[in-house]
Amino acid sequence: MNIKEALPLLETILQQQQVISDKLQEIILTLRHEPEPVEPQLRFMLQPLNEGIEQMSKQL
């Protein structure tokens, strides 16, 4: 793989990382305000994060 092929892939990974970071921040804020139990809400909120990680893994 040469640099010209790697740059778009790295850019995509960077964008996906930002989406993941945003989702994690949202989860943190939600968990600070949620009463126990938080597991159902956490599972729901982690689903897009899991999908993003899976997509990143496939592209690598």
Number of domains in the chain: 1
pLDDT tens column, 8-52:
988 988 998 898 889 889 888 887 876 777 777 777 878 887 788
pTM of the model: 0.55
pLDDT at site 34: 65
| Full DSSP string of the chain | --HHHHHHHHHHHHHHHHHHHHHHHHHHHHHHHPPSP-HHHHHHHHHHHHHHHHHHHHH-
Q: Identify the domain containing residue 8 by its residue range.
A: 1-56
